[in-house]
Structures are given as structure tokens and as C-alpha cells.
Structure 1
Amino acid sequence: MTVIAENRMSGAVRAAEQVLSSRAGARVTLADPVELGGSGRTDVVRARVAQNPLSLDRSLVIKVVPTDEPADAFARELASYKYANALPMHSRPGPQLIAFDNTARLIVLSDLGHGRSMSDLLGSPEWADPSHAISAWGQALGRMHAATVGGEGDFDALLRRGPGGGSVEVLPAQARMAVDLAPEVMTRYLGLPVHDEFLALLRRGEALFAEGDHRAFSPSDVGPPNILINDDGVQFMDYEWGGFRDASLDIAYAIVTFTPDLAPRWTDRRTDLETALVDGWRSEIQAIWPALGHDGELHRKVLTARALWVWMSTVWMLPVDLEVDPQSHGLALHTTDPTIVVGRWTDLAAAATRAGLTDIADFGVAAASALDAAWLR
């Protein structure tokens, strides 16, 4: 560990002790800090509670956004944890907010423990691990969505009352720019004519951030690196860009991001896993969104969101300026591996074929071929 990292970690622990002690009215002492990493711009530390007048958990997790980073991430993550804390226990998507400090940009959370990461389970040589984990992942997304329908006003109020009076969501802004540049990217970088039907699909996908019939809360980056399965079930761990949007964006994000972590021996069964993921999600949300009980409607909606995520991961690989580096946010969708992006196009084309969208499938095949020729040959 570098000196800078050690200084940051000790500073995070001292700041957390001050916040917890002020809350308790008596000294709280933390010990044995362990760096847990973070999104690339957030310091995350686990520490043992050594002196504990509050009957706190035996260990806590401390997250600090450095002061030289934009304040948006802290404001949005704090509002997300406050909102999630008010949900019924069985619907909470992740850790509990214990304390926070706006000035220090510090959040103290309950420790979810060690459990097993979704990435680890997907990479297991035992089929039961990825198949069970995928189903549980879909069900957890569905429970979160079902519990938060209609809560957007409450979340927005928390965001307005937070530090800075609100924040800008990075992903919707990135999506808007990526879609606006789509005609140029198709012709200049893919060497393909502008595909009007696919462009219309992208525009419908981008609109799901601001509208849509199935709006619910999302932590935003619901890919495998941010998911832990412990004794309490599936836990989502990063709320840095949490907010409300159409829930189909979440299930599509999960589909697009799980394949790179999948053990090679299971890649031929990824369609089965996609189906299990979607079915698990639908089992929890069908009662509140009955239209998604219709297979055609469901698959078209998910395909729309999926096309947007595949497009964004492609544009991030190209020399296209979208103003914000997604790697700095640690997004599971972001990759620098061209084989992953080409594979996402191939899988998108297969999904479009299953949905009966032949023109979209043909464009997916053409895009995969163009990128394969440009990057892998």
C-alpha cells in the first residue's frame, strides 16, 4: 500500500470516528482498517469497532469521496442510501446507512460481511453456482423495483435537500451523447450505412432514463462486481449514481455485463442464464406491471435497453469524446477488451432474432463483423 493510500485510509477512519462519536455522545474507536478498493475515485475501508457505546456492528464500512472529485457522486449516493434505508428490510437492496458527513464527503455503512461475489459465482466450475446466483440476482432486482415504484418524488426531495441541492446523472448524459453521435459512429467507425431502425431503437433506449412505463429505483451499476451474496441474499453495493429510471435498463444491464465473468465451460449456456435472470426478475414485478407478463412485450422492452448498453460500451471503446471517462467510475459496463464488445453484438443479434426483429439482428451481425475486422484481425 502506498503512503498516499495509507494517509487516505487513516484519514477516513479518523473522520468516521468523529462522526460516530458525535452521534453517540461518547467516543467510538475504530481499529484494524482494511482497504477494500472502490470505484476508482472513492476510498472504501472496512474497520473493526473497538470501542462501541452505540451497540454498533462489530465492523463497519467507510466510503469517502475525495474533495478534489466532483460532489455529484457523494450527493447522489447519500440520497440513495437514505432512500433505501426507508424501505422494508426484505426489500433493501444493500447495506444500511449508519452515519454521514457532508463536509468530509463521508458515508458509514453496515458491513455486509464477506459472502461470495457475483463474479466469483459466475466463474465457478459448478453449474449450480451461476444458475442459482443468476436467478437470485433477477429476483433481487425485481424486489427492489417492486418496492420502489412510485417513490421518485421522495427520492428527488432527498436529493434536493442534500449537499449541493442535487446532482447530475452521468449515465443519462453519456447515453444522450452516444445516441446523438450514432449516425457518425455507424458510418465513420463501423463503415456501415446509417440504420434508421437501429437508430430509432437507440433513441427509445435513451429515453428510458427520463421516462417509461416501469420506473423504479436503481443503484445504477448493477453489474457483477457490485453484487455480493451473503446469508441475507443478494446485496447491491455501489449507489454512486443511484436514481429512478425505467427498470428494464437494470435487467438489460445485468444481461450485458454478466457474460465476461462466466466460466468458459458455461458460455454455451448463457442464453439459459439470460432466461433465468429475466424470469427471476419478472416473477417479482409481474403483479405490479402485468404488461410484462406478455413474452413479446417483455423481450422487446429488454432488447431496447440492451441495445443501448451494447452501443454505449462500443462507443467507449472508440476515439469518440463523450466528455466523461467511464473507467473513472468503475462501471461494470465499461471494458477495454474488444472481444467482449464484439461478443455483446453477437449476443444482441441472437436476442433480436429470438424476438423476431430481423432487421435489428442483421445490423447486430454487421456491427459485430465490422468490429471484429477492425479490432481482432
Structure 2
Amino acid sequence: MDSILRAAGDLLDTELSDPVDLGGSRRSTVVRCRTATGGSVIVKAFAGEPEGLRSFASEAAGLSLRLAGPELLAVDAEVPLLVMEDLGDAPTLADLLLGDDPKAAAAGLLAWACGLGRLAAGSVQRKADLARLWARYDKGVPSWEDEPWIEQNSADLLALLDRTLITVPRGLAGELAVIGAVRAEYPAFTPGDTCPDNNLMTSDGLRLIDFEFACFQSVFLTAAYCRMPFSTCWCVFRLPTGLAEEIEHAFRAEVVDAYPELADDAVWRAGMRRAIAVWTVDATVALLPRTLEDGPLHPTRRPVPTRRQLLEHRWEMASTLEEFPALAATMRTLLGEVAGGWGMPPLQGYPVFREPGSDDLVRELRSNRQHLWIK
């Protein structure tokens, strides 16, 4: 920690002190520090293994694009670390969804969807800029845009099904290739990890944090977070149907400005179904091997679903993708032969929305799109 503070302080030409751990990850250490003048900054130092180095390049390049996120104050590519402005202790979208104010939670969801949509729409012409910035901070690890993660997940799913003695329907490999093509469709910038705990609801509006997976990806892969919801996250419960539709509509209404073709319902629905399939395969590969002993998706936050509950919910949604019959059949087999033996209660709705009145809440949001956090 001392060496991190010295390196960051040298970048800013000031002394840093009183580090407060903000809970990083195995890839990074994140601390809030006091400056010699009494202010505060956020210092993020990255591990030297490949995933840490990729995360550094992604975050440094993504923040340098200056489309979203905290202001990037300084970068040391050798340590590596970066220093950002401190956005304070505003509640996150996760705090609202696990809280007790349904209006605040619904408005937060709408702000999140609109904010991501506006970011995507406003970024479409900046892909070459991000590539140039990535080259500046490149640490020798492929970017997420160059990493064949969808193809690798498809291969891993087939191998996993074989180990689990699940019969692989004829045509599944071909369907996975078709589904994976969504990756190249309608690209736009995203911070990557757009989960509820990476969205601050500040007095100045929605602010996005954590750009470790920043890249250009299909708007469908981002929009799927609205419907599933939160494709790769821990803060996952069922959304009221009307509310899920409203936040997806809010995101889509923004990106249509950049991609008018997405106003076509057939185009939108097909892309969303492929994106849901991609993220379901991703969750299955990541979580199924860890379900022999079930456990919560987050080590400390409560309430939170278990790995088994989340997978069952994902498989249920993907089992309805009838244009991909082999995949849908695989999901139904997993539900019957794997989840059927778990005896788990189904994934419930977000606690904040379990009280009656969700329909009234959705109508209110539709009639008044301008809210405190949508700026």
C-alpha cells in the first residue's frame, strides 16, 4: 500500500494519506486517499497477471475516451495504476434495488437504462479513438474486443455438457456459431461491467464507474442487461414485467438515434434473443461447475440469490428461444436433469418491488421520463 500511495502521489505531485479500501477485486486494489490539500482522490492499482493487465489497459483507455465515468487525473503504466476523481459516497443502483423505496429503485433503473443508451448512441463514431488509446496502454494482453470469449464459451459449453453426461442435441454447435455473430452487430462503447453496484446515483445524475471491461460491443449485449436482468451480475432478482419492458424501451429509444434500423421490431427482437443466448451460455460455463456446493453470489451483500437460483432463472428464459431449437432443448434438459434435483425455491422478485402497486409505478415512469437522476 505504501508503494501504491507513493507512486500515485508522485503522479499528482502531492502527498497521499489515509487510504480507505473500497473493495477492489483479484484484478485490482481500489482506495480512497486524502491529498495534502484536504481533498480526496481514488487510486486504482492493478495486479501484474494477465487479467489485471487487461483491466488496466481497458480502464485507462475507456476513461481517457472521456465519454463517461470519473475524470481520469493521472496514469502510471509501469506500476500500473491510475488516479481518478472521487465521486463520493452516493448510493449505487444496487443499494436502491435492495432498499425499501420502490419509486427510487424504479427511477434508478430508468436512469441507468437511459444513461447507457445515450452513452452507446454518442460513442458510435469513437471506435478508432478507443483503439488508439488502447494501443497507448497496451500491456500485451488482447482486448475484450479481440478476445474470442464467445467462441471459447461455446466450446466450453459443449465440453461441459459432455462431462455432465447431458445429451447434446444435433445442431447445437451450429446454432452457437449463429448466436455468437451478434457480437459484431451495431457496436457501441460500454464500460463493460454495467452491474448495479457500478452505477452511482449522485446529485449530478447517473455516474458510471469500473471500466475494467470497457470496449465496443453490440448494443444487444448491453441491452440484454435490461431484460435478463443484469446478465453477468450478482444483484439479480426478477423484475416486474412492465418495468423490465420500460427500461429496455428506454435504452432502445436512445440507441435508435445512432442506429435507426433498431426501430424495426423484428431486428430488435432477433438481436435480443441472440444476446440472451450468449449471456446464458456465459453464465452456464462460469457457474455450473461451482454448483456442486451451492452458495450466495456475493460474499457479504444480502439479500442475494444463490448460484443455482440464478442458473435456473437463466435456463428458464433461454428455454423459450425456439428459433434455436437445439439450444432451447439443451436448456430444458438442464432444467429437468440438473436443476430438477436441486430442490431450490425459484428466484423471487426484487424485494423493493414485491409490494402491490408495480403497475402504477410503471405508468408513472412512462408519463414522466425526466427524473432526478436522468440528466
Deviation at 1:136, TM superposition (A): 1.2
2:364 alignment counterpart: none
Partners of 2:121 and 2:21 lie apart in 1 by 34
Counterparts of residues 15-26 of structure 1 (less than 5 Å): 15-21=7-13
User: Counterpart amino acid of 2:114?
Assistant: Q
Q: What is the letter of the counterpart of residue 204 of structure 2?
A: D
Query: Which of 272, 275, 279 matches 1:309?
Result: 279
Q: RMSD of aligned C-alpha atoms?
A: 2.9
Equivalent of residue 142 in structure 2, options 160, 167, 172: 167
Query: Residues 303 and 95 (structure 1 numbering): CA distance in 2 closer, same or farther, change over 3 Å?
Result: same
Q: 1:314 to 1:336 in 2, by over 3 A?
A: farther
Structure 2 CA distance for partners of 1:186 and 1:195, relative to 1, 3 Å = farther
**Is residue 274 from structure 1 mapped to residue 255 from structure 2 by the alignment?**
no
Code of the residue aligned with 1:17 in structure 2: it is: G
For residue 116 of structure 1, give the secondary structure of its aligned residue in structure 2.
coil
Q: Tell me what 1:236 maps to.
A: 208
**Structure 1: how far apart are the matches of 2:180 and 2:104?**
33
Residues 172 and 232 (structure 1), Cα distance of their counterparts in 2 relative to 1, 3 Å cut: farther
Query: Alignment partner of 1:221: what SS?
Result: coil
Alpha-carbon distance in 1 for matches of 2:45, 2:327: 43
Counterpart Cα distance in 2 of 1:348 and 1:282: 21
Cα distance in 2 for partners of 1:262, 1:182 equals: 22
SS of residue paired to 2:101: coil
Give the match for residue 156 of structure 1: 131
Q: 1:135 to 1:47 in 2, by over 3 A?
A: same
CA distance in 2, matches of 1:228, 1:205: 33
Query: Are residues 1:340 and 2:326 paired?
Result: no
Deviations 1:164-219 (A, max 9, x none): 366342994332212124444445426233253x644532343333x22x111121
**Is 2:26–2:47's contact at 8 Å kept on the other side of the alignment?**
no
CA separation in 1, counterparts of 2:214 and 2:79?
A: 20
After TM superposition, the structure 1 stretch with the greater mean CA deviation from structure 2, 358-367 or 235-244, is: 358-367
- Cα drift, residue 43 of structure 1: 0.5
Task: Give the secondary structure class of the aligned counterpart of 2:26.
Answer: coil
Shift of 1:315: 1.1
One-letter amino acid matched to 1:13: L
| TM-score, normalising length: structure 1 | 0.77
Distance change (3 Å), C-alpha of 1:44 and 1:175: same
Out of 70, 77, 80, the position equivalent to 2:59 is 77
Per-residue displacement from partner, 1:313-345 (whole Å, max 9, x unpaired)?
11112449xxxxxx9xxxxxxx97111111111
TM-score (normalised: structure 2): 0.78
5+ unaligned residues in a row in structure 1: which ranges?
1-7, 22-27, 53-57, 321-326, 328-334
Please give the secondary structure, in 1, of the residue aligned with 2:210. Answer: coil
The DSSP-based 3-state class of the residue aligned with 2:30 is: strand
| Aligned residue in 1 for 2:99 | 124
Q: Confirm or deny that 1:115 pairs with 2:100.
A: no
Contact 2:182 2:274 in 1 (8 A): no
CA spacing shift, 1:226–1:201, aligned 2, 3 Å: farther
Distance 1:208 1:262, change over 3 A: closer
